[in-house]
Structure 1
Amino acid sequence: MDISVFINRRKELKLSQVKLSEGICTQATLSKFENSDQVPSLSILSKLCGRLGITVDMLYQGEDDLSKVRKSLDMIEGQLMTEDYRRVLKGLSKINISKVESIPIRMQYYYLRGILNTLINRDPEKALFDFSRILNDLDEKHQTILTQLAFVGSGILYSRRQDYEAAQFYFNKVRRYIQHVYSMDKDVMENNYDLRILTLIYFTSEFFAINENYPLSNQLINTGLALCSEDHVTFYLPRFKFLAAENAIKEHRPHEMIDRLMDEALAFARINNNEVIEVKVAALRKKTANQNG
């Protein structure tokens, strides 16, 4: 980390340590950062940098290289939304995270690698270790949405191990976060906020559906659909609609409603090039036809 970038910017703006730290942290915390390389929490550092009109990533060397890594990870995160796990795996394999100092980028990488290994049932212990890097090191005060994503990944992993008590522990944390998230100021949210909150909502609604709590699952699905509509985000629409169709079948809803949900899931899947949902819809149609026949 090049702290001189931070110090020079503060001096350019003629801000004293006392003035810069006001309302964010103590002057002693800022002094230790500038003089002793004692880096404060990511939340504090982000606010200090924001007041200076710079980003945390600008404190790290090789800004152009960091920008390329960030763009690659954002692309990979988008591929994760459409369940294109093969491309996610390939993209992550090209990134040498050991050469990256940026805390936000490291957290994004560990989240993506951990959730991928969880979803494809690969290296569960390594997945938990990746989540623990976020929870116990990079965001130990649990102040970013990456902590919630690490909770979701941990919940999915324990659910697949059929340890539902441990899984519910994590998903309840996420559900409480979702409940108050709309009171938060989106202007200060991290990159990819909408996609990340939708990831939280989707996997939490899926967990409660697996455990046959359909009212809560459907409530979360409707929250996700509303967010998709409000913020014009379509990545998760096919997955929410497909999950809603599965819930409707298990709740013995009218056939017309089930068919409509599957039609909508298929339409949104084609818009988003989500071939996985297209295959799932076809399989679900065949299964329901056989049951009704």
Structure 2
Amino acid sequence: MDINIFIERRKSLKISQVKLCKGICTQSTLSKFENNGRIPSLAILSKLCERLGLSVDDLYRNSIESTTHMKMVLDRVESELMMESYSQVSQSLTEIKIDEINNDALKMQYYYQKGLYLALTKGKPEDVFFDFAQILDDLDERHQSIFSYLSYIGLGKLYQNLKRDTQAKFFFGKVEDYIDVHKDETFQKSGVNVYLRILTLVFYTAEFLIKQHEFKKSRDLIKRGIKLCSEQHITYYLPRLKLLAAEIAIYEEESYETIDNLLSEALAFAKINQNEKVELRVNALREKYNRENQ
């Protein structure tokens, strides 16, 4: 029995042990099952699995070889990347054995996530290039999927970190064109990860454009990102998008009220998402702004 499948499903649904076992068994029974592998009675286990949308049979599949499990882990990484939970991303990616993935879409998801994680945490350039090359030179040679453009984001970030703006501009420019071409495209509601990926393109491109002082282009992307967050009820990127909007407002010397409102909104959404990193950035930017405008 692979208990990790059970644990991953519970965590992905954000159901606590207390909530899951209510009316079925004690929390101690559930904890012993998850932590020590002590299997409860079949009746109890069946009810717990049913509450998670699983069957007991699902737990007998090898977790690494299970496409369902790998997709679950990679989808979790998707969210962890959005939240900048990089230590969790690193840990989660170790659960995947890429050689045992037979699905090209999952392979591309893995390589984009690993490459972007390395680019964002200033990993070795050769490792970043290798991961994105798997997509750009092999799995999506014709560059038709969104994974190619997520790879361009990672390469843009890499060159930005290396202070090679010409190269960074080249890759972010490709992403800009992609966003513009697909701006009116819609996807099925169940495809939340598709929208998260689009927001990833929007956010990092807008962030780069601010560094280039291309405020109009950046503002347009930020508005598009906030609109998409609102329409799809996705909050991961809202704090950072609002923070970018505040940065532009400060650069362009907008009113104190406008800047204060944007910072307050960024802070509020950061608290909702429990994103402490954005909270710290908002507070630091507010202090800096107040200090320079006393």
- Tell me the TM-score range normalised by the shorter chain: 0.7 to 0.9
Confirm whether residue 149 of structure 1 aligns to residue 134 of structure 2.
no
Quick one: distance in 2 between partners of 1:233 and 1:157? 27
Structure 1's 288 and 218: CA in aligned 2 closer, same or farther, altered over 3 A? same
Higher relative contact order (CA 8 A, sep 6+): 1
- Residue matched to 1:95: 96
Q: CA deviation at 1:101?
A: 1.8
8 Å CA contact 2:243–2:266 kept in 1: the answer is: yes
Structure 1 residue matching 2:182: 3-state secondary structure: helix
User: Which residue identity is paired with 2:176?
Assistant: R
Letter in 2 for 1:204: T
Cα shift at 1:182 = 3.1
Distance apart, 1:184 and its partner CA: 3.3
Q: Which residue of 2 aligns with 1:138?
A: 139
TM normalised by structure 2 equals 0.75
- Which range moved further: 178-187 or 114-123? 178-187
Describe the superposition over 1:205-256 as per-residue Cα deviations: whole angstroms up to 9, x where unpaired: 0010001111111111011111111111111100100111111111111111
Contact 2:235 2:269 in 1 (8 A): yes
**Identity percentage over the alignment?**
42
Q: Which residue of 2 aligns with 1:6?
A: none
Where in structure 1 are there 5+ consecutive unaligned residues?
A: 1-60
Residue 201, structure 1, aligned to residue 202, structure 2: yes
Q: 1:111 to 1:207 in 2, by over 3 A?
A: same
Question: Within 2, Cα distance between the matches of 1:223 and 1:191?
Answer: 16
CA distance in structure 1 between the aligned counterparts of 2:168 and 2:190, rounded to whole angstroms: 26
- Equivalent position of 2:258 in the other structure: 257
Counterpart CA distance in 1 for 2:64 and 2:120 is 32
Match for residue 121 of structure 2?
120
What 5-or-longer segments of structure 2 have no aligned partner?
A: 1-61
Give the RMSD, CA atoms, in angstroms.
1.9
Find the aligned partners of 1:63 and 1:132 in 2 and give their Cα distance.
24
Q: Which residue does the alignment assign to 1:47?
A: none
Could you tell me how far 1:199 is from its partner in structure 2?
Answer: 0.3
Pick closer, same or farther for the CA change 1:65–1:208 going to 2, 3 Å.
same
Whole-angstrom distance in 2 between the partners of 1:233 and 1:189: 12
Which residue number in structure 2 is paired with residue 107 of structure 1?
108
Distance 1:63 1:90 in 2: 15
Q: Distance in 2 between matches of 1:68 and 1:94?
A: 10
Matches within 5 A, 1:167-186: 167-184=168-185, 186=187
Q: Which residue of 1 aligns with 2:163?
A: 162
**Structure 1 pair 135/189, CA: closer, same or farther in 2 (3 Å)?**
farther
Instruction: Give yes or no for contact 2:70–2:96 (8 Å, CA) kept in 1.
Output: yes
Give the secondary-structure state (helix, strand or coil) at the position aligned to 2:264: helix
Distance 1:234 1:188 in 2: 15
Letter in 2 for 1:85: Y
Deviations 1:72-97, CA, capped at 9 Å, x for gaps:
01011101101111111111122221
TM-score, normalization by structure 1 = 0.76
- The one-letter code sitting in structure 1 at the alignment partner of 2:195 is D
Range 88-97 or range 198-207, more displaced: 88-97
